[in-house]
Amino acid sequence: MSVSFVSLVAFTTLLVVSCTVCPAEKRGTFSPYDTTEDPVAFAQQSFTSMTSYQVMLRSSSAQEENKIIRYSYQKPGYVRMDFTQPHSGAVLIFNPVSGKVTLWPFGAGSLPILHLSPTNSLIQDERGHRVDRSDIGVLLGNIRHLQREGTTTVVAQERVAGRETTHVSVVGPGIMTVDGVHRYDVWLDNYHRLPVKVIGYAPDGQRLETVLLDAMVINIRFPANFFTP
């Protein structure tokens, strides 16, 4: 397998951007510390209460790279990524017990198989993002970090991909970034309080990536060997 392919696989760990929703009656800026009206605080509550989730991620970057990945997560940190685009059939799994990443470029159970540390530069992007830190909880922590001295705005109630959502914008203070992101725009499902769409922006306003999250299943019961094929 080429280094470029492994690096591309690593880059897709960024796709697991996520947030959560509460139905919002108010619009405008509010204090991020008031959990009675902060959708991100509700998002953290939702993530804390769930045990697992699975979603189809569809992303596009500023470089017009398109990806389609089925992303599966189970606490305390199991991650499985099944690729449709690019490199259809490739599977990447992180096992928090062993602390290792297993990569099958041609499908789980087929050869070759790579066993790597999540800190291996071959499976990280240029900013050092790691598959073992790619879940909703990590993303929410990043957003909360931007909130502390920044601004959080409930923009509007909007319909996205057939779902009623709350559009929330979080902007860090000054030119502050977390994982290279200065501003997050997130559309949060008003029913299950999980993300339908996320866009990240750089301090100069450049769009870094847009992610659509389809077919979300919460608290899914995975087969016994799903994360250890």
Is the per-residue pLDDT at 13 higher than 80? no
Of 19, 23, 27, the closest CA to residue 45 belongs to 19
| Chain centroid offset of residue 98 CA | 22
Domain ranges of the chain: 3-218
Which residues does residue 100 pair with via DSSP β-bridges, in sequence order? 95
Of 24, 29, 32, 14, the closest CA to residue 193 belongs to 24
* pLDDT confidence bin for 18, thresholds 50/70/90: very low
C-beta separation of 184 from 146 below 8 A = yes
Find all residues with CB under 8 Å of 189, minimum gap 6, and list them.
Answer: 21, 163, 164, 165, 195, 196, 216
The percent of residues above 90 in pLDDT, for the chain, comes to 48
Task: Name the residue with tokens 């500023």.
Answer: 62
pTM, two decimals, is: 0.80
C-beta separation of 17 from 195 below 8 A = yes
C-beta separation of 115 from 108 below 8 A = no
Superfamily assignment of 3-218 in CATH?
Answer: Lipoprotein localisation LolA/LolB/LppX (2.50.20.10)
Count Cβ atoms below 10 Å from residue 114 Cβ, excluding itself.
17
pLDDT of res. 194? 81
Task: List pLDDT tens digits, range 63-82.
Answer: 777 889 999 999 999 999 99
CA distance 7 to 12: 9
Task: List pLDDT tens digits, range 85-144.
Answer: 888 999 999 999 999 999 998 988 889 999 999 998 877 765 567 889 988 888 888 888
For residue 189, the one-letter residue type is D
Sign (positive or negative) of CA dihedral 164, 222, 81, 73: positive
